């Protein structure tokens, strides 16, 4: 009584009791309120899209509650947190994910249905958040789901691109790129933090001054922009833990450059400030070829600097010195893209906070760790010294100093062997000097990891061999995983319910190893029957979609043979097409009696080619022309259909993966760092046709040799085969098929020449000719297995049953324990 603060709190608590309950009526009320008050439509008349918006907003309210609780809890606990820095987060849709993880899906379904809307239809209204290219970006998204679900303290940091990955359309069978201006329909999932902003500087010059006996550096930039925070709540499954994905948008800086407003050219001054926004405008659609574009480096520095300033500000709220910064902060670099964070943290600690270099370096090396996703050193980024000198002059100085101190240290170990030192040097000498970002990250990180067992070995033996020799303790393996929440539980509801029924528990949703419990029923006719029923249902859904987009009618009795991933030479979609042509050709030469023995197939291919990647675009055109020809061939009929699914993205993957019988992961051995869709397919009971690359090898080990179709060269043979490829004689069929393409069987003689040349003996870098026979044999083995329904179904069940190891929760735990040093913790109430 009489304590106003207490009364105020009581009042607030009482009010909390009045809203945001999760019964159907409360949810209904909140949806309708949002229709009326947030999107300002009439509650008596709103369409499916408006229903989505209102529903999303009502879910958002609930997310914000748990987000706030979570932030408060970790502030109070002062727990160590991991910050996952990534240029890409390929999130896909959020609505189903959110209500599923919050455990309120049934209530929402009923609430909407009573209002005359169908949850499944409403969910489809959402645009994908496509802030990533492929595997690397989707992995980041899976990590967030897992970190939240397992109650870790974690944040993601990235860029709020206005344009996500381009949308792919087909015109006359050619890929065309459409801008993905995804924010123009509004984004209910983000919370704009207009007051969380940081200045980000570029260009200018550095001055050295002696202050009280120490040299200090003052960077006077020429350009300054502001980074504004947008928070995206990430709810864990069946836990109150909602973590944060903070994305930065570039805005003109408020204060800087005021003098230009006195020049009289007011309008142009405004327009030039507006250019700041270009920094966060667009996601680069080719993640693997390093182009050396200034804007890309600006993007990297922009988001990394904002994130580090933010992390340090938060740390300073609780601590007066940086002594135990590394006890509270772990920063994971997702590939080399955020590596400029190394000199940036040094700059912030030394130039801004006034720490000694040695102290700052000690902190830096305890904070950073890096994941490498590529197989060959050539794809690691190198920024020219010239560009760095212009754009980030102070950082270049810091990099030089890091390198000098590092080389001094290694000289003590390896002596003055110049070539050896040159290989270790962070600076690549030569006509055009450049900074090797991988080396910089490695020198500054306490740990570096690859993404599958084989890949991590390759890093030690090849990519970073010289570093492995001096820093063997830094190297680890962390085999990738995927979240079984999105990739099983809610993209495949039929299988989800069946698993829960047969295992007698839902616990597999957070403990995927429990799936091994299925093994004992793999031959059970009742499970087999139910299994195939669910699979047929999923296939029917996909067949409907395929007919709608392409007009091609496909039978769900046919085997759905799928290859969906970015189009790239090393992934060898061309090998797939060649065998499709071969199959068509065989069928055409068959007698009617022989034809009755053919296993009908629907070959589904999808994926985007980087806009400047001509060969990849030609592969797409080849798929579509081959499809056109085969699909209309009366001799072939329903025995073979070929469909290119345009605009492959996260949402389409959710439709395609549960409906696939066979999926292809056929990169040249050792050339795929890990692969993650292979794990999604396996979980969903799809069989793999695979080479010995990345995580295929580990999948084979888990599910057993008899449940996977493996072919092709061994990883350790690839170097030799490449060296000898000029002498290699590919089989007759291979030449014949290439000849068919060359001679215009699929039109466009001219256009496909360059593509055909890539597999000419001396050129065939990815060894298509070499692996062709073995590939055809594996394809025959697939057909043979498919006709034995009992056997195929058992293989399918065994795939799902053996996929437990590929839950990202396993991966996350390994990072947490062996790299980040963080433990799960959760509010007790
Ligand atoms: C990317 O998506 C991957 C590697 C890269 O170097 C870049 Cl720049 C982008 C992929 C790998 O190709 C794939 O094998 C791996 O599963 C994925 O990253 C996640 O680690």
- Which one is catalytic: 80, 138, 373, 485? 373
| Candidate list 246, 347, 571, 572, residue with the active-site label | 571
Is 676 an active-site residue?
A: yes
Active site residue 45: no
Task: Let me know if 433 is a catalytic residue.
Answer: no
Residue 174 has phi, psi (to 5 degrees) of -95, 150
Could you tell me which residues are beta bridge partners of residue 251?
226
Cα–Cα distance measured from residue 302 to residue 340, given in angstroms and rounded to the nearest whole number: 10
Are the C-beta atoms of residues 252 and 274 closer than 8 Å to each other?
yes
Tell me how far the alpha carbon of residue 335 lies from the centroid of ligand 1, in angstroms: 9
Residue 256 pLDDT greater than 90, yes or no: no
Residue position matching structure tokens 């080399």: 336
Q: Quote the radius of gyration of the chain (alpha carbons, Å).
A: 28
Are the C-beta atoms of residues 410 and 399 closer than 8 Å to each other?
Answer: no
9-13, 335-339, 655-659: which range is least confident on average? Answer: 9-13
Phi, psi dihedral angles at 606 (to 5 degrees):
-150, 155
Q: Which of 492, 461, 512, 506 is CA-nearest to residue 715?
A: 461
pLDDT band, very low/low/confident/very high, at 299 (cuts 50, 70, 90): very high
Cβ neighbours of residue 689 under 8 Å, at least 6 residues apart? Answer: 662, 663, 664, 665, 666, 709, 711, 778, 779, 782
With the most atoms of ligand 1 within 8 angstroms of its CB, the residue from 137, 373, 477, 691 to mutate is 373
Which residues, including other chains, have CB under 8 Å from residue 88's CB and lie 6 or more apart?
Answer: 131, 132, 133, 136, 137, 140, 158, 283, 287, 334
State the distance from the centre of ligand 1 to the C-alpha of 374, rounded, in angstroms.
6
Predicted pLDDT of residue 270: 82
Nearest residue to 674 (alpha-carbon basis) of 463, 464, 482: 482
> Could you tell me the CA-to-CA distances from 483 to 139, 183, 237, 501 in Å, in that order?
9, 26, 11, 21
- Cα–Cα distance for residue pair 283/227, rounded to 1 Å: 17
Question: Using a 6 Å cutoff on CB, does residue 539 contact ligand 1?
Answer: no
The answer to whether residue 255 scores a pLDDT higher than 70 is no
CA 752 to chain centre: 31
829, pLDDT greater than 60: no
Lowest-pLDDT range of 256-270, 430-444, 448-462, 662-676: 256-270
What proportion of the chain, given as a percentage, has pLDDT over 90?
90
Does residue 676's CB lie within 6 angstroms of at least one atom of ligand 1?
A: yes
Out of 566, 608, 618, 641, which one is annotated catalytic?
A: 566
Q: Once rounded to an integer, what is the mean pLDDT over residues 361-369?
A: 98
| Contacts of 699 by beta carbon, 8 Å cutoff, 6+ apart | 678, 679, 682, 688, 690, 708, 802, 803, 806
Q: How much is the ipTM here? A: 0.98
Going by their DSSP bridges, the two strands 89-92 and 214-220 should be labelled as: unpaired
Catalytic position from the list 394, 474, 486, 565: 565
pLDDT of residue 477 exceeding 80: yes
722 is catalytic: no
pLDDT of amino acid 1: 60
pLDDT digits (tens, 9 = 90+) for 522-572: 999 999 999 999 999 999 999 999 999 999 999 999 999 999 999 999 999
Provide the Cα torsion 146, 149, 151, 153; round to 10°: 50
Domains of the chain (ranges; CATH) run: 67-480 (3.40.50.2000), 501-814 (3.40.50.2000)
Q: Which residue in 469, 293, 452, 305 sits closest to 372, CA to CA?
A: 452
Confidence of residue 212 (pLDDT cuts 50, 70, 90): confident
Please say if 565 is a catalytic residue: yes
Whether residue 21 lies in the annotated active site? no
CA of 455 to the centre of ligand 1 (A): 11
């Amino acid at each position: 009584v009489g304590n106003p603060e207490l009364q105020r709190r009581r009042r607030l608590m009482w009010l909390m009791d009045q809203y945001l309950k999760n019964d159907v009526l409360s949810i209904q009320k909140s949806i309708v309120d949002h229709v009326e008050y947030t999107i300002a439509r009439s509650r008596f008349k709103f369409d499916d899209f408006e229903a989505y918006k209102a529903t999303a907003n009502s879910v958002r309210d609930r997310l914000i509650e748990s987000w706030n609780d979570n932030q408060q809890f970790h502030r109070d606990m002062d727990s160590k947190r991991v910050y996952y820095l990534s240029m890409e987060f390929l999130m896909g849709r959020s609505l189903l994910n959110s209500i599923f993880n919050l455990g309120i899906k049934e209530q929402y379904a009923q609430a909407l249905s009573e209002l005359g809307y169908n949850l499944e239809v409403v969910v489809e209204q959402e645009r994908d958040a496509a802030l990533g290219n492929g595997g690397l970006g989707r992995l980041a998204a899976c990590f967030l789901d897992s970190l939240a679900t397992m109650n870790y303290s974690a944040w993601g940091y990235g860029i709020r691109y206005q344009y996500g990955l381009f949308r792919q359309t087909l015109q006359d069978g050619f890929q065309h790129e459409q801008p993905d201006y995804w924010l123009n329909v509004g984004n209910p999932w983000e919370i704009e933090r207009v007051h969380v902003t940081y200045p980000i500087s570029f260009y200018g010059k550095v001055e050295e001054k002696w202050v009280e006996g120490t040299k200090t550096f003052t960077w006077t930039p020429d350009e300054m922009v502001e980074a504004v925070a947008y928070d995206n709540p990430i709810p864990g499954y069946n836990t109150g833990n909602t973590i944060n994905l903070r994305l930065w948008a570039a805005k003109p800086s408020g204060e800087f450059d005021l003098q230009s407003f006195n020049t009289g050219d007011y309008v142009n001054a405004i327009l030039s400030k507006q250019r700041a926004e270009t920094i966060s405008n667009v996601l680069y659609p080719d993640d693997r070829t390093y182009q050396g574009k200034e804007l890309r480096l600006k993007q990297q520095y922009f988001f990394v600097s904002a994130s580090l300033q933010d992390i340090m500000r938060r740390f300073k709220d609780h601590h007066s010195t940086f002594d135990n910064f590394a006890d509270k902060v772990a920063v994971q670099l997702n590939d080399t893209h955020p590596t400029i964070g190394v000199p940036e943290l040094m700059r912030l600690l030394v130039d801004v906070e006034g720490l000694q270099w040695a102290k700052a370096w000690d902190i830096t090396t305890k904070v950073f760790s890096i994941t490498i996703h590529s197989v060959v050193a050539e794809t690691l980024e190198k920024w020219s010294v010239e560009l760095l000198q212009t754009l980030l002059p102070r950082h270049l100085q810091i990099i030089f100093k890091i390198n000098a101190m590092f080389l001094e240290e290694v000289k003590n170990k390896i002596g003055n062997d110049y070539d050896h030192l040159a290989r270790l040097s962070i600076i690549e000498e030569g006509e055009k000097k450049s900074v090797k970002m991988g080396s910089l990250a490695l020198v500054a990180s306490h740990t570096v990891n690859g993404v599958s067992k084989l890949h991590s070995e390759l890093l030690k033996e090849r990519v970073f061999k010289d570093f492995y020799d001096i820093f063997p303790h830094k190297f680890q393996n962390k085999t990738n995983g995927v979240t079984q929440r999105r990739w099983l539980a809610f993209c495949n509801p039929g299988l989800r319910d069946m698993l829960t029924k047969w295992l007698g528990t839902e616990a597999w949703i957070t403990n995927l190893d429990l799936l091994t419990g299925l093994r004992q029923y793999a031959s059970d006719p009742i499970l087999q029957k139910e299994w195939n029923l669910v699979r047929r249902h999923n296939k029917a859904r996909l067949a409907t979609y395929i007919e709608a987009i392409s007009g091609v009618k496909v039978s769900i009795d046919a085997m759905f043979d799928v290859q969906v991933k970015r189009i790239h030479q090393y992934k060898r979609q061309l090998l797939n097409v060649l065998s499709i042509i071969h199959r068509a050709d065989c069928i055409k030469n068959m007698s009617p009696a022989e034809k009755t023995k053919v296993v009908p197939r629907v070959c589904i291919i999808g994926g985007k080619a980087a806009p400047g990647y001509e060969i990849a675009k030609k592969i797409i055109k080849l798929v579509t022309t081959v499809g056109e020809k085969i699909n209309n061939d009366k001799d072939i009929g329903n025995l073979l259909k070929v469909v290119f699914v345009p605009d492959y993205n996260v949402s389409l993957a959710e439709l395609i993966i549960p409906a696939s019988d066979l999926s292809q992961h056929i990169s040249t051995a050792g050339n795929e760092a890990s692969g993650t869709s292979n794990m999604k397919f396996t979980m969903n009971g799809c069989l793999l046709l695979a080479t010995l690359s990345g995580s295929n090898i580990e999948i084979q080990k888990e599910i057993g040799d008899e449940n996977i179709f493996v072919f092709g060269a061994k990883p350790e043979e690839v170097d030799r085969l490449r060296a000898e490829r000029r002498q290699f004689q590919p089989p007759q069929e291979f030449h014949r098929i290439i000849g068919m393409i060359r001679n215009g069987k699929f039109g466009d003689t001219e256009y496909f020449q360059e593509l055909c040349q890539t597999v000419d003996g001396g050129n065939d870098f990815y060894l298509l000719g070499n692996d062709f026979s073995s590939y055809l044999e594996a394809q025959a083995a697939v057909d043979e297995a498919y006709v034995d329904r009992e056997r195929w179904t058992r293989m399918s069940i065994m795939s799902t049953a053996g996929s437990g190891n590929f839950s990202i929760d396993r991966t996350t735990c390994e990072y947490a324990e062996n790299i980040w040093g963080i433990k799960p913790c959760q509010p007790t109430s």
